[in-house]
A = this chain, B = another copy of it.
Amino acid sequence: MKFSEFGARFSGRSGTRDLMDDLGAVAREPSRWINLGGGNPSVIPAMKPLFDDALAAITSRGDWPALLGGYDSPQGYQPFIEALTDDLNRRSGWNLTPRHIMTTPGSQASFFMLFNLFGGYDPAGRLRRVLLPQSPEYIGYSQSGIAPGQLASCRSRIELVGERQFRYHIDFGALPLDDVAAICVSRPSNPTGKLASDEEMAQLYALARRLDVPIIVDSAYGLPFPGITFVPGTVVRDDNTVFCLSLSKLGLPGARTGIVIANPDIIDALTGMNAMLNLAPNPLGARIALALLQQHDLVALARERVLPHYVERSRLAQAIAERALAGLPWRIHASEGAIFLWLWFPGLPVSAEVLYERLKARGVLVIPGTYFAPGLPAPWPHLGECLRVSYAQPDAVLEAGFAAIAAEVGAAYRGG
């Protein structure tokens, strides 16, 4: 088979693919795996009756033509877009019109469209790059640029916090600022759980203005919903910001529905791109979210039912980690949001990828830190000492998973 350069690059093995293949393996044989790997959200008990009601509301017998029998416009289902506009204006004080919002087939598709709308070769043939000011950063960005070399990033600075924690800081002095086409940051960060501070965000907004490029804020786990943030942080929306939200972390990853909020020129451009790549987004996601919106308020739901669940899971996961890893050298990143612990084993004698394979052989899935390096010009050895561990799963899964991690990490430190 002769593939194109793009084809060879996009079809090969990748961290994203390994992660999704692992999720597929879990879905096929759930009982075989302790899954701390992928981004599967919790089945949150307090959300369950709401989703059941919403699904029942849109799937009454005879309703399939409205649900599955037609295409939405490439911008999305207008009644949902209008209801979400109202909800966000009321709850977040944003000043949106329905022309500011669109839906996509999921956040991954949103990033592919955004990274290539702005980044890549410009009409004059010059390569312009998407700046990722944080590193480590989301695995899914890694191959979202059509052109090789389309992402640029630099290592964050590490601050040690107490005995067991640490925190990354954006290294503003070291950011690669040549030929920037857009800036993108996950907030809270996937994988680290860091919530970029209001000061960092203000600096990034100012930088974007100075470079005359948009700033993309990946809020897949953040505000205004699903709102999984454990420390104070302000969200500023203006005409230069692009917010990427999703229904996934409310508990609906299978709805495959991403939401982009930006100025109408960007939404119009993305809508054209969505038509050419996908014809139209998923009708189901917008309809189930509209049914939710008609009874509830997404921002309030996130704050009252989703956030407390993950606050508690983070606390529990840290307690479990502390017990399991006692006696080993380890640190975790300050847990400020999202659904992961980011573990660091300073001086680990084997690479995180070897650790991943050993854990997988025990039936435990995690993600090696090395995968979270989109845009870095050279490997960062520190990431080979890190693992991303989801705490969305039940306690027993966390207990078993951390016991296995402790055993393998312990063996590695002892030279095994």
Interface of A toward B, CB cutoff 8 Å: 1-8, 10-14, 16-17, 20-21, 23-25, 27-28, 38-41, 43, 48, 51-52, 55-56, 59, 61-65, 67-75, 77-78, 105-106, 108-109, 112, 116-123, 125, 128, 140, 143-144, 146, 181, 212-214, 251-256, 265-266, 268-273, 275-284, 288
Contacts and interface: CB of A to CB of B under 8 A. Distances in A.
B256 A280 contact: yes
B20 A146 contact: no
Nearest to A263: B1
Contacts of A213: 2
A271 to B, nearest CB: 7
A40 B70 contact: yes
A291 to B, nearest CB: 12
A23 B140 contact: no
A33 B28 CA distance: 46
A70 B253 contact: yes
Closest 5 CB pairs of A and B: A24-B73, A11-B269, A7-B117, A68-B254, A4-B120
A407 to B, nearest CB: 28
Contact of A273 (B7, B24, B128, B265): B7
A103 to B, nearest CB: 12
17 contacts: A3-B117, A4-B121, A4-B122, A5-B125, A11-B270, A20-B275, A24-B72, A28-B73, A39-B71, A40-B69, A40-B70, A59-B59, A68-B255, A106-B278, A256-B282, A282-B282, A284-B284
A20 B279 CA distance: 7
Nearest to A8: B123
Contacts of A16: 275-276, 279
Contacts of A122: 2, 4-5
Nearest to A58: B59
A123 B144 CA distance: 18
A17 B275 contact: yes
A69 B270 CA distance: 27
A52 B43 contact: no
Contact of A24 (B5, B74, B265, B277): B74
Contacts of A69: 40-41, 43, 251-254
Nearest to A253: B71
A278 B105 contact: yes
Contacts of A288: 68
Contact of A4 (B4, B64, B116): B116
A52 B64 contact: yes
Contacts of A271: 11, 17
Given A14-B272, A128-B4, A273-B11, A74 B118 contact: no
A84 to B, nearest CB: 16
A306 B279 CA distance: 23
Contacts of A8: 123
Contacts of A10: 116-117, 272-273, 276-277
Given A16-B276, A108-B279, A278-B106, A74 B21 contact: yes
A83 to B, nearest CB: 14
A368 to B, nearest CB: 17
Contacts of A265: 1
B70 A2 contact: no
Nearest to A285: B68
Contact of A272 (B11, B65, B108): B11
